[in-house]
Each structure stands twice: as structure tokens, then as C-alpha cells.
Amino acid sequence: METFFQTLASGIMMGSLYSLVGMGVVVIYKSTKVFNFAQGGLVMLGAYIAWSFIEEVGMPIWLALIAAAVAGILIGIIIERFGMRRLVGQPIISLIIITLALQAFINGVVTLFWGDRASNAFPQSFVPALPIEIFGVNLSLQQIVTFAVSMTMMTLFILFFKYIKWGLDLRAVAEDHQAAMCMGISTRMVFVLAWVLSCVLAFTGGVLVGTIHGVNTTLYEIGEKSFPVVLLGGLESIPGVLLAGIIIGILEYMCGQYLDPMVGASTTDIVPFVILLLVLIVKPYGLFGLKRIERI
Amino acid sequence: MLRLTNVEVMFNRVILVLRGVSLHVPPRTIVALLGANGAGKSTTLNSITGLIHTELGEVTEGTIEFEGRDLIRMSTDRIAQCGIAQVLEGRRLFEHLTVEENLRVGARAKRGKSSIKKDIDMIYGYFPKLRLMRNATAGYCSGGEQQMISTGRALISNPKIMLLDEPSMGLSPILVQEIFRIIKNIHEDKGTSILLVEQNATTALDIASYGYIMENGRIVLDGTQEQLKNNEDVKEFYMGLSEVGKKKSYREVKHYRRRKRWL
């Protein structure tokens, strides 16, 4: 029973990270209807940039994190300006393919600049791997920090979309571009904002996952893990992606703990997708997806 | 105030939709733009607010001026911030937002410094029904309520001119009357100019002081409310009357006269 709770807790901690990364996808999808396949790449890029600021530039940690956030903002603006804007008004699939290209591009850039320094780790003093015992479950301080940061970001975003006027702009543009323009909302600014927010989320995720797994070229895989999370949550819902991330996280750890020894192979990458398919059969909009409103 | 001179609009660089439209909306007036389906009424409105650019259209000739400013090269959101509020055809609400959130989005183009809360209260003053359903999801409201939200969403920015695209579409005659009564109230209270696009000529000419009639991308007739209401052709083709007060019988109309062309 102790193992069960241990696995459960680890799953929740990891799942919160999936939610955080998935939320970046949701923010872009909500406002522009583009599914960003490059989210994993951005996570990796964020981890590398933060690592470089700390280890190679020698910045203090707090400054490095701020610098990484600024870099995230700049990269968001650059992607929107040079990757997306020219194609606005074209079929949405072209924009989605661009994000695939972006993923390949980021992979290339990371290999080019950091490729020879395999498997780096953030300095230990960053978030020490202190074991902490809560209700008889052993967790590391890293896991708890990850969980806390993810939850804080989620809460901030939910409040942002509900109460801040820019958040409202994003939702309005998501519903109807023309009507939003008639209300004096600049769709261009909204698209920039969406990409900036998404990049900042990805970079935050990158730093967090980097502290747990070390900074290496497989970090983009967390992006792939976040796709079933986003779909399960319903593509447009932040509470949905939060819940879905935790569900997938728990499933993954449970499979690793109980199913793998039975099967004798790793099932952690398969089971989340199987569950996703099953859920989509019953609820095609995902758990919290917006239902299409149609007047008859 | 708002003046279009010889505006030509082309879509996809080949389809000429407006062929030289000139019209003028003076301050503090309601002007009606009438015509059948496909006459170019909505395109006229969309060319004023720049929305034709999103549909691959562009103004190839003529000028559009609002208080001395050239609107043709401005983006839609900038035009909205100048005080031109367009109510799109078919209402086009932000369906998943609540009624009040829709209004708050509308207040983004607000001029002046009044608080949003006060503005929202003003809208509820004109449309008391909306106050009761402020937290309802807009997409699930009835057609009449949606038209109220859509009009309120434009009105809340305190515009100098409102462009209303077929507010009567899909509404029952009683609701149409109610909507038009409120539009007239707004106009009288706030002195907002209104450019009203309608197929329902009778109702539109009841509140408009001047009217233009469009056909095939041209203005074919214009005049004051009185002139248009008493014009034989308008009566026959837009109001369905042959002599004042009598129901029109199509048996008396020669088939070649049924669809009159002015040009």
C-alpha cells in the first residue's frame, strides 16, 4: 500500500508538469486554432538557455531565471512575427505544419549549439534534491517545487482568462476574429500575446523538468507527452488540461510500477494514448472541451 | 460626418462588387441603406470598417472619410477605436462567453473615461432583460436576446456612429418592433448617428430620416423618408403595396415589370 501512495504522489507531481507544458499548447490553440507541435522543442530550448545563463554566463540563479523568461518572451515574438504572421488567413493546416518545421528547427539549433555537452545538470544548489516525507510518502524537494510552480501558473492563467482584459481579448479572438476586430481588438497583438505566453510557459516547464531529469536533448519528449494531455482535457480548457495532466501522470507511474513487471516491457508510453482513445470515444470533446453551440 | 465617394470594391482582384457607391451620414441622423439580397449593402458596411480585407477585398476607387480622416488604409481595430461600431450581420456573438463578458469585450474600444461598470449598467438600462441573464452563456440565448447583446456590445463603446447590419434578421415582427424602438431611443438619448442596413424597408423607413436604395452594387435611388415612402417604385417593390393601404396583387403586375431596374 505504501508503494501505491508513493507512486500516486510521484504521478501527481509529474502530471502537474505535463499540465504546465500542455497549457502552452492550449493557450495558442484557444486564440489562434493552431496546434503547436513545437511545444516540446520550446521546453528543451528553455532548459538549455537557462542552463547556459547559469553555467556558462555565470549569472546568479534568480537573474538567470528572469533572463530565461525574457528570452522566452523574445522567442515568442520572433516565432509569431517570422513564422506565423505571413500565413495568417491561409488554411490553418499550413500554420500547423510550420510548427512541425519549428520543432525540427529547434532540435537542430539545440544540437548545433549545445550538442557536444551531453547530459548537463543544473547546479545542485538550484533546487536541492532533499528528500521530504509527507504522510509517509517520500518526495524530493524538486518534485514539490515543480508541483507548486505548476499549480501557481495554472491558477494565474485561469484568473487571467477570466478577469484580465487581455485574457478576455484572447477568448474573444478565439471565437470570432471579425467580431473581435470590430470591437477594436488587434488580432495581431493577441496572436503575439498568445505565443509569448506559451513560450514563457514552455521555458518554465523546461527549467522545472531540467532540474529533475537534467538538461539533455531528450527533453522535447515531454512535449509529446503533453499532446494526449491536451486532447484529453479538451483542447481549449485550462481546468481540463490540469486534470488531464494529473490523470496521465498517475497512469504513467502506475503502469511503470505495476503493469511493466507483468508485461515485461515498458508500457508507460502506450497506456496514456489508449486511455485517451477510450475517453474520446465516449466524450469526443475531451473532458472539458467547449461544446459547439449550434442554432437550429 | 461619414462620407463615401464613388467607392468601388473588388474581391479577389476580379469581382467588382461595389460600382461607385456614394453616401453621406450627417451627424445625429439615422440613415437607411435598403436593397435586396446581394445588392452590396453588407459590403458597403464592411468597406467602411475595413473588414473586406479579411475577405480578400479591397477598395479600388473612391474615398471613405470619417470626420476628415481617410479610413481606407486603417486597420479594423483602429477604425473601431475612432468611434465606429459595427454590428455584424447575424449577430456574431462570442458564444462561449457570458452575456456580461460579451459586453466587457465591447467596451474595449471605449472612448471617454467612464467606468466599465457604469457603462454596463447603461446597457442594462436599455435592455433590462440582459441584466437578468448576465451570467448566461451568450450562445444559448434566444435570437432576440442575442440581437440585444450584439447591439449592446456595440453601444457600450459609446460610438459616434453605429453601423447596424440587418438587426431584424430572423426575428419575429414584435421583436423587430422592440429592437427598432430601442435603436430609436439610443439615437435620441445619445445623438449617435446610425447607418441602418435593412431588407425590411417599411420598418427601416419608419425611423430613418434619409434613405438610400442599392441594387447591383450601385445606389439607384435616394431621398428623405417622405420622398422614399411616397415613391411609387419603392412602394411597389420594397413595401409590397400598389396603392397606399391596399394589399398588392401580383396578378395586376406585368411580369416584365415585376423586377424593376433603375439603370
pLDDT tens per residue, range B18-73? 999 999 999 999 999 998 888 899 999 999 999 998 888 889 999 999 998 999 98
pLDDT higher than 70, residue B253: no
Residues in chain B with CB shorter than 8 Å from the CB of A172 are 94, 97, 105
Q: What is the mean pLDDT of residues B147-175?
A: 90
pLDDT higher than 80, residue A185: yes
Q: What is the pLDDT of residue B25?
A: 94
Instruction: Search chain A and give the residue with CA nearest B79.
Output: A184
pLDDT higher than 50, residue B263: no
What would the DSSP string read from start to end of chain B? -EEEEEEEEEETTTEEEEEEEEEEE-TT-EEEEEE-TTSSHHHHHHHHHTGGGGGTEEEEEEEEEETTEE-TTS-HHHHHHTTEEEE-TT----TTSBHHHHHHHHGGG--S---HHHHHHHHHHH-HHHHHTTTSBGGGS-HHHHHHHHHHHHHTT--SEEEEE-TTTT--HHHHHHHHHHHHHHHHHH--EEEEEES-HHHHHHH-SEEEEEETTEEEEEEEHHHHHH-HHHHHHHS-BSSTTSBP-GGGS-GGGSS----
pLDDT higher than 90, residue B149: yes
User: What is the percent of chain A with per-residue pLDDT over 90, rounded to a whole number?
Assistant: 25
Q: What is the pLDDT of residue B35?
A: 87
pLDDT higher than 80, residue A176: yes
CB pairs under 8 A between A and B: 77
A223 vs A105: which has the higher pLDDT: A105
User: What is the percent of chain B with per-residue pLDDT over 90, rounded to a whole number?
Assistant: 47
> Which of B46, B105, B111, B169 to mutate against chain A (most A CBs within 10 Å)?
B105
A193 vs A33: which has the higher pLDDT: A193
Q: What is the pLDDT of residue B260?
A: 53
- Measured CB to CB, residues of chain A less than 8 Å from chain B are 89, 165, 168-169, 171-172, 175-187, 290, 293, 295
pLDDT band for position A116 (cuts 50, 70, 90) = low
As a whole number, the mean pLDDT across chain B is 86
- Predicted model pTM: 0.84
Q: What is the mean pLDDT of residues B136-161?
A: 91
Instruction: Search chain B and give the residue with CA nearest A175.
Output: B94
Instruction: Search chain B and give the residue with CA nearest A167.
Output: B105
pLDDT higher than 70, residue B258: no
Q: What is the mean pLDDT of residues B72-85?
A: 90
A135 vs A246: which has the higher pLDDT: A246
**CB-CB under 8 Å, A182 with B54:** no
